[in-house]
Amino acid sequence: MYCTSARQTLDHNDPLSQDRPPRLFETRNRAALDTNAIIVFSIWAHGLQRFGDQLVRFPKNPEFALLLTGNPPRLAHIDAMQLVMRREYWLAEGGWYDKGESGDGAMYAKFAAKYGYRSVETVLGEHF
């Protein structure tokens, strides 16, 4: 993986811009990795703590908060509200097909691997 030049980055410095060109590319085939097909935001998740690679829920303790960046989008690292995906891709994937407790993480990892994603550090919201 590599990054485009600093000059290109400065020319397109709005992290929320869906129209900026990709900055990260696969080394071998130059395929864009940070496409605007999927945008991943950070959120504050209340009542959660991380222990190793697991999330532990504390529903009676909303003061326990964990910043979930969603980067990389994978199981136990992303919440349903963090990912925004282009409608045509969402429909092509069958919408919300996995309604299990960890369905969002499983689906989002698959989508990100297939379409690429752009991570935005902006906190979108809070999940209680």
Q: pTM score, two decimals?
A: 0.77
What tokens does 31 get? 């395929």
| pLDDT of 54 | 84
Dihedral (CA of 109, 113, 115, 118) sign? positive
| pLDDT of 21 | 87
Average confidence score pLDDT of the chain = 84
List, for residues 76-126, the tens digit of each pLDDT value.
Answer: 888 888 999 999 999 999 999 999 988 999 999 999 999 999 988 788 889
Burial of 24 (0-12, 13-18, 19+ CB in 10 A): middle
| pLDDT band with cut points at 50, 70 and 90 for residue 52 | confident
